[in-house]
Amino acid sequence: MSKKICIFTVTGPYRFPIDMLRYDCCYPQQQIDTAAIEKSLLRERPGPFKVTLASQIIYNPTKDRWASFGWTVTDVTMI
């Protein structure tokens, strides 16, 4: 049985909530997403910051928890 991967995008104006990587068992999909996370942490310029994440979870990301940090989840796809 092959594992499903959940790909989703988060967008936010503030520092990226690093703990959400652990909470939703996810990771940046590409290097550009890692760079976007790093830029959000530097806070040299305001967002919005857009990051695409991937996870081998079988449920959707926790949208309400992301929202509590000021980030919005969009484009959820299971592949």
pTM of the model: 0.90
Task: Name the residue type at position 3.
Answer: K
For position 60, what pLDDT does the model report? 87
Nearest CA among 44, 55, 62 for reference residue 78: 55
Residues facing residue 78 across a β-bridge: 6
For position 4, what pLDDT does the model report? 85
Domain borders along the chain are: 6-78
For position 57, what pLDDT does the model report? 78
pLDDT, tens only, 17-43: 999 999 999 999 999 999 999 999 987
pLDDT beyond 60 at 1? no
DSSP string spanning the chain? -PPP-EEEEEEESS---THHHHHTTEEESSHHHHHHHHHHHHTSS---EEEEEEE--SS---HHHHHHTT-EEEEEEE-
pLDDT beyond 90 at 9? yes
